[in-house]
Structure 1
Amino acid sequence: MTNQSRRWVKSSYSGGDNGNCVELAVGEAALPVRDSKCADEGPVVEFGREAFAVFLGSVAKGR
C-alpha cells in the first residue's frame, strides 16, 4: 500500500494549530508511522501491534 492510499491520523499531541508531528496509518495489520513534515517523501517505519503497545506503555511510564 502506498503512503497516499493509507488513511493517516496525526497524533493528538500535534497541538491545536495543525502543527507537524507524528502520524500513523490506521486499519492495517502493522502500524506504519511517519513524520508529517515530510509525509510524501519521507520514510515510514512499521511496527507490529504488540511492539507498538509495549512502546506506548513505556512512554506512558516515563521510560
Structure 2
Amino acid sequence: TGNLDSHTGERISDLLFELNKESGTTLVLVTHDERLAHRCRRLIRLEAGLMVAPLEP
C-alpha cells in the first residue's frame, strides 16, 4: 500500500484485515509502517536479516 495515496492505502488495509477476520485465514504483512504493524495480533521484527523476539502489538 506504500505506493497508494493515504486514503486508498487505508481502505486496502481495512479490506485485508476484514477478509482475514471473516475467513479465518493467516495474513502475512510486511511493512515499515509501525501504525499498520500494530493492527496485527502478532509482530515479528527482523534486524539485520534475523528474526528477533516476537513483540506484543
TM range (shorter): under 0.3
Normalised by the length of structure 2, the TM-score is 0.26
Greater RCO structure (CA 8 Å; 6+ sep):
1
Q: Greater strand percent: which structure?
A: 1
Normalised by the length of structure 1, the TM-score is 0.25
Q: Greater helix percent: which structure?
A: 2
